Structure formats: C-alpha cells, structure tokens
Amino acid sequence: MFAVIRTGGKQYKVAAGDVIKVEKLAGDAGASLKLDEVLLVSDAGNTTVGTPLVAGAAVTATVVAQAHAPHIIIFKKKRRQNYRRKNGHRQDLTILRITDIQAGA
C-alpha cells in the first residue's frame, strides 16, 4: 500500500515504514503527526485518485528529528560592474517515519 501526499508545496510517494525529509513541521522528536492532504491511495491494485484530495484518507507519521539541509551558497555577479554578492541558506527540515496509511471512504 502506498499514498501520494502533499506537504510544504511538494508531493511525496510514501509507504508504511518509509523515512522522508520534508520542509519543517511543528513537533518534537517522537511526536505523532497526521498528514491529511492525500492525493492518491493505492492498495493491492485498487487505486483511488482524489479530486484534488482523497476524502477521509490520512497518513500518520512520527517525527524522527528536526534537522537542517546542507548549506547552499548563493553568489551573484555582474561582470565588469564591480558587483558581487555572496549569501547562504540552510533549509529547516523535519525527518518523518511513516507509520500508517488510512485509505478513507
């Protein structure tokens, strides 16, 4: 059984036991989250596609950790104009372990 969920403006294909990294969600390590933006659920060949969401479907996940993505360097330059800007960014991430998928109605 697998599902396609939407969180943080991105879509993820998940199954029970999977570990995924998503944009930061509220919750400490060990907390349980319910993700109810389920776009598709497939179970033993029976596929339910939502319009846009599957009614009553939900994915339960446990927060493994709060982490940071690798450091990204943003460098802007305009040649011959003495223009250089250096900046950096680290995205906050939440690592989730998928525990259960409810198919809904």
Closest CA to 102 of 61, 58, 38: 58
Domain spans, the chain: 2-102
- For 21, other C-beta atoms within 10 Å of its C-beta total 14
Q: What is the pLDDT along the chain (105 residues), one digit of tens a residue?
A: 999 999 999 999 999 999 999 999 999 999 999 999 999 999 888 999 999 999 999 999 999 999 999 999 999 999 999 999 999 999 999 999 999 999 876
pTM of the model: 0.84
